[in-house]
Amino acid sequence: MTKNYYHQCHFHFIGVGGIGMSGLALILFKRGYSISGSDKNNNQAITKLKALGITIFDNQSKNNIKEILKIKKQEVIIIVSSAIPDENDELKAAKENQIKILHRSDILSNLIDNQSTILVAGSHGKTTTSTLITTLFALNNQKPTAIIGGIVPYYNSNANAGDGEFLIAEADESDGSLIKYKGTLAIITNLELDHTDLYKNINDLIKKMTIFGQNSEQVLANYDCNNVRKCNLVNPKWCSTKYIKEVNFSAIPIKITGYETIAKYYEEGRFINQITIPLPGLHNLSNALSAIAACRISGIEFTKVNQYLKKLESPNRRFEFKGIWKNRQIVDDYGHHPSEIRETIKMARLIVESKKSILPLNSNRLVLLFQPHRYSRTKDLMKEFAEELGKVDVLILAPIYSAGEKPIEKINLQTLKSKILSNYPKLTIVELKELDNIKNILEKETKKNDLIVVMGAGNINKVSEKLTANQLNRSYAK
């Protein structure tokens, strides 16, 4: 943001602990803006903001707005995300006091307009891809500014206020706000129907992503995704893990193990060199290829990029090893869409069966503790969920995380369990009524040497944190 009208204002973030909101608040504060925030929950992001001296209210009452208006002499602007409901007390107080209210995307858009920007969009892989790009840029001393939807291991933060040329950020399609952005380079990882509360069908999403791509100066897109190819993109650069001649950047896998992926790397159909990604899974190769291509398009030499690849790490909650509980390995994963579940299970199976992996111990069985996210997604993708969730040895279903949605009739764990059993009649499925009793359930239903994947986009990650709370070393085995 330029030091203009906005620089003279005070920004108050409602729900500042959110992964996107906290990142924006941090960047603005580091750039000299006056910042405060509020959140009913406490987390690592809020702790960091407080440590910087930013005022954070631990509630969201109308009195917060009154106090800010009383203390701050400059104009106050309220920042909200799509997660903030109209009935929020602070938001209502802001409207009553006729305070200017902006969506977080308006602030991000302003940042984007004032420097070179790499924006990562798509249904899956946004956070991993943007994390890998940020890491490669940082290792090359590009000093990027980054606003990421997860914790970047290199910075141990979801945001970095760098003084380099580039801003790297995710462009979220979940609320349609990504069409506000006009980036230097837009990356589209893949497209699948999701967020069915907003998009009626895949064509709606394709249209939105087409606008996003056309708004940017240049586009890098995944040729392997048929839906991405349906976007009406202008002179895109294409990348692929399957094709060589048809695309600009290729990474053709040679070997995928439980701890790394080896591939032949090509540019414009010409073999360049062999690359090794310290991440298992074809989906991670695709994410890494987009990151490599973004570096190359931005002018970073391949020889340097290839040197940095060995230092790549996934963001938190992307198959993140949390620790060992009663001789069971605990992994936390953000997956909440059937395709994400499919790829995570595929990678976990590879780890279990190969006995060589990024995890410190070998495991004999795969146990999935899954929390469905949103009633609408569960309803509209019920068939797909039922196909993918059964590909484990034991499945434990946690109550549906509403994300603010109202319940939908007959969309519950019983219905989901029945659908899964119709595909996998011998599968052991356990329904949880609540998460509080999870330790007893896991001890009863799992065995020593199990790999337990705790998966979902809601509050299910608190389970993995609780199980491994006293463990200090949670890093992957190298």
* HEC string for 47-107: HHHHHCCCEEECCCCHHHHHHHHHHCCCCEEEEECCCCCCCCHHHHHHHHCCCEEEEHHHH
Same domain, 367 and 295: no
Same domain, 55 and 82: yes
What is the tally of structural domains in the chain?
Answer: 3
Q: Which amino acid is at 397?
A: L
Choose one of 257, 288, 311: the last residue of a domain.
311
pLDDT digits (tens, 9 = 90+) for 410-419: 999 999 999 9
pLDDT digits (tens, 9 = 90+) for 228-277: 999 999 999 999 999 999 899 999 999 988 888 999 999 999 999 999 99
Q: Which residues contact 469 (CB under 8 A, 6 or more apart)?
A: none
Question: Is 6 exposed, middle or buried, given 0-12, 13-18 or 19+ CB atoms closer than 10 A?
Answer: middle
Q: Within a 10 A sphere around the Cβ of 10, how many other Cβ atoms?
A: 18
Q: Is the pLDDT of residue 80 over 70?
A: yes
- Let me know if residue 473 belongs to a domain: no
Same domain, 152 and 282: yes
The dihedrals phi and psi of 403, each to the nearest 5 degrees, come to 50, 35
Question: Which pLDDT score is estimated for 471?
Answer: 64
Same domain, 337 and 359: yes
pLDDT digits (tens, 9 = 90+) for 376-423: 989 989 999 999 999 999 999 999 998 888 899 999 999 999 999 999
What length does the chain have? 478
CA distances in angstroms from 422 to 149, 198, 337, 427, listed in the order given: 36, 30, 20, 10
Classify strands 185-188 and 428-431 as parallel, antiparallel or unpaired.
unpaired
- Let me know if residue 269 belongs to a domain: yes
Same domain, 373 and 289: no
> For the domain that residue 86 is a member of, what is the CATH number?
3.40.50.720
Strand partners, 88: none
| Containing structural domain, residue 83 | 5-103
> For the domain that residue 217 is a member of, what is the CATH number?
3.40.1190.10
Same domain, 307 and 325: no
> For the domain that residue 433 is a member of, what is the CATH number?
3.90.190.20
**Lowest-confidence range among 1-5, 21-25, 217-221, 278-282?**
1-5
Q: Is the pLDDT of residue 1 over 50?
A: no
Same domain, 126 and 249: yes
How would you label 450-463 residue by residue, b for 16+ Cβ within 10 Å and e otherwise? bbbbbbbbbebbeb
Same domain, 307 and 326: no
Same domain, 248 and 363: no
Question: Considering the chain, what is the average pLDDT of its residues?
Answer: 90
pLDDT digits (tens, 9 = 90+) for 92-135: 999 999 999 999 999 999 899 889 999 999 988 899 999 999 99
pLDDT band at 476 (very low <50, low <70, confident <90, very high): very low
- Let me know if residue 418 belongs to a domain: yes
- Let me know if residue 383 belongs to a domain: yes
Choose one of 311, 342, 367: the last residue of a domain.
311
Pairwise pLDDT comparison (368 vs 71), residue with the higher score: 368
* CA–CA separation, 447 and 6 (whole Å): 57
* CA–CA separation, 169 and 215 (whole Å): 15
- Let me know if residue 429 belongs to a domain: yes
**Lowest-confidence range among 205-219, 252-266, 312-326?**
312-326
Question: Which pLDDT score is estimated for 4?
Answer: 63
Work out the percent of the chain whose per-residue pLDDT is above 70: 97
- Which pTM does this prediction carry? 0.86
Mean pLDDT of 324-352: 90
- Let me know if residue 477 belongs to a domain: no
- Let me know if residue 13 belongs to a domain: yes
Q: Is the pLDDT of residue 197 over 80?
A: no
Same domain, 224 and 372: no
**Lowest-confidence range among 82-96, 129-143, 346-360?**
346-360
Strand partners, 92: none
Q: Is the pLDDT of residue 477 over 50?
A: no
Same domain, 269 and 337: no
- Let me know if residue 472 belongs to a domain: no
Choose one of 71, 103, 135: the last residue of a domain.
103
Same domain, 220 and 341: no
Mean pLDDT of 167-187: 90
* SS3 sequence of the chain: CCCCHHHHCEEEEECCCCHHHHHHHHHHHHCCCEEEEECCCCCHHHHHHHHCCCEEECCCCHHHHHHHHHHCCCCEEEEECCCCCCCCHHHHHHHHCCCEEEEHHHHHHHHHCCCEEEEEECCCCHHHHHHHHHHHHHHCCCCCEEEEEEEECCCCEEEECCCCCEEEEECCCCCCHHHHCCCCEEEECCCCCCCCCCCCCHHHHHHHHHHHHHHCCEEEEECCCHHHHCCCCCCCEEEECCCCCCCCEEEEEEEECECCEEEEEEECCEEEEEEEECCCCHHHHHHHHHHHHHHHHCCCCHHHHHHHHHHCCCCCCCCEEEEEECCEEEEEECCCCHHHHHHHHHHHHHHHHHCCECCCCCCCEEEEEECCECHHHHHHCHHHHHHHCCCCCEEEECCCECCCCCCCCCCCHHHHHHHHHHHCCCCEEEECCCCCCHHHHHHHHCCCCEEEEEECCCCCHHHHHHHCCCCCCCCCCC
* CA–CA separation, 102 and 461 (whole Å): 30
